[in-house]
């Protein structure tokens, strides 16, 4: 059986130094073929030496591009799973996958995504690395510019604007396998030691807390933690649970039981419109706690078929090609959900007509 590809998740608030850390990692890959998934290519700076000449400016949001050192980079604006699938489809496959989160996207749901049937047989979460701003945290703040973090949160329609930063920070610490206290060059040795001791006490048992400066951390420290984080989600919960909106929080065994998921196909007639179908999918996800919906739809009056993708609350769609002469003009959506979901209710919500 082929070994699973290890994936490292790097999280932390805006301005803590995630990008600098990742750039250093890519620049010192030493022949290791690393696949990097970022929110936007712009986060890494297209003028950086490591990215010169790879044509990033002309790429679409879902493109995978070769970097000059043999690594590959993927920008994912909306949907994590297609990015993983695009990377896994490459030959040769990467040696390691590194995922940079926005810092506001909680790490736990992303880790849970690695239990999804499309991914779990091929990839494992090597570890979650949480980067914190040492100077800010030692002064009682969570980021150098908390107002900028709040603006980032306000601009994202998928985030709760009421959740205090203290709870988001607690989630990042609770999920971490390695905590990097960055910018310790701005602290005295005593203050840096006191902060690392405090975070060690707050983190789960056995989690390493390390001081760093300017994102200079050896790849051997960041990669190869072999924690299989997707298999112990129960241990990665902060004391508050209201962020977990997938329904998995109701079944503590469901997070790590691979049999706790089911997949089925819903067939429905032509949709009235692309927006109307997206609204239906979004409502079905919210009402039934669905993990993923993907497939193709026929839209009344449109010759092209509609590709539909949904993970979590966000639904994306685009028209890709005409229906073939022998293809029925119907909607077929694959649903991935927790075991025991009300299949008939989901089918009705997605527009299926009872036989």
What is the residue-averaged pLDDT of the chain?
76
As a whole number of angstroms, the distance between CA 128 and CA 201 comes to 18
- Of 158, 172, 32, which Cα lies nearest the Cα of 101? 172
Q: Tell me what pLDDT residue 66 has.
A: 59
Q: Tell me what pLDDT residue 131 has.
A: 93
Q: What phi and psi values does residue 194 have, to the nearest 5 degrees?
A: -65, -40
Q: Tell me what pLDDT residue 301 has.
A: 93
Instruction: Give residue-wise pLDDT tens across range 182-195.
Output: 888 888 888 888 99
Instruction: Give residue-wise pLDDT tens across range 14-64.
Output: 888 887 788 788 778 888 888 887 755 444 443 333 343 333 333 344 456
Q: Tell me what pLDDT residue 71 has.
A: 66
The secondary structure of 312-340 as a DSSP string is TTEEEEEEEEEPPTTS-S-EEEEEEEETT
- Give the chain's residues under pLDDT 70: 1-2, 39-80, 102-106, 156-162, 238-261, 291, 311-314, 338-339, 354-355
CA distances to 9, 11, 116, 308 from 127, in Å: 6, 11, 17, 31
As a whole number of angstroms, the distance between CA 191 and CA 269 comes to 64
Residue ranges of the alpha helices (H) in the chain?
18-27, 80-88, 107-113, 117-120, 134-138, 146-154, 165-175, 189-202, 219-222, 274-288, 343-349
Claim: this prediction has a pTM higher than 0.85: no
Q: Tell me what pLDDT residue 105 has.
A: 58
Phi-psi sector, 70: left (phi>0), alpha (psi -120 to 50), beta:
left
Q: Tell me what pLDDT residue 257 has.
A: 33
Q: Which two tokens stand for residue 211?
A: 């001081």
């Amino acid at each position: 059986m082929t070994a699973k590809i290890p994936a490292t998740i790097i999280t932390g608030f805006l301005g803590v130094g995630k990008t600098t850390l990742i750039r250093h990692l890519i620049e010192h890959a030493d022949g290791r073929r690393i696949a990097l998934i970022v929110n936007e290519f712009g986060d890494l700076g297209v003028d950086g030496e490591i990215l010169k000449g790879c044509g990033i400016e002309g790429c679409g949001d879902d493109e995978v591009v070769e970097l000059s050192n043999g690594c590959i980079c993927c920008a994912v604006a909306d949907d994590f799973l297609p990015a993983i699938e695009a990377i896994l489809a490459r030959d040769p496959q990467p040696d390691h996958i590194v995922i940079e989160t926005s810092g506001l996207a909680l790490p736990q749901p992303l880790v849970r995504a690695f239990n999804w049937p499309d991914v779990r047989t091929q990839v494992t979460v090597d570890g979650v690395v949480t980067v914190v701003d040492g100077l800010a945290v030692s002064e009682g703040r969570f980021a150098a510019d908390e107002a900028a973090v709040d603006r980032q949160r306000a601009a994202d329609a998928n985030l709760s604007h009421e959740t205090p930063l203290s709870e988001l920070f607690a989630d990042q610490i609770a999920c971490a396998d390695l905590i990097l206290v960055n910018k310790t060059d701005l602290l005295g040795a005593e203050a840096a030691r006191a902060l690392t001791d405090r975070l060690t006490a707050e983190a789960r048992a056995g989690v390493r807390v390390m001081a760093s400066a300017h994102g200079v951390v050896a790849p051997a420290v960041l990669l190869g933690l072999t924690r299989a984080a997707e298999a112990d989600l129960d241990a990665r919960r902060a004391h508050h649970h209201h962020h977990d909106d997938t329904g998995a929080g109701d079944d503590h065994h469901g997070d790590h039981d691979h049999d706790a998921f089911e997949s089925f196909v819903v067939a429905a007639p032509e949709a009235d419109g692309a927006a109307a179908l997206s609204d239906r999918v979004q409502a079905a996800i919210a009402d039934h706690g669905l993990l993923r919906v993907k497939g193709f739809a026929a839209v009344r009056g449109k010759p092209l078929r509609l590709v539909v993708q949904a993970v979590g609350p966000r639904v994306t769609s685009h028209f890709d090609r005409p229906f073939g002469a022998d293809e029925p003009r119907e909607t077929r959506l694959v649903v991935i959900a927790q075991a025991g979901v009300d299949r008939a209710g989901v089918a009705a919500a997605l527009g299926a007509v009872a036989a």
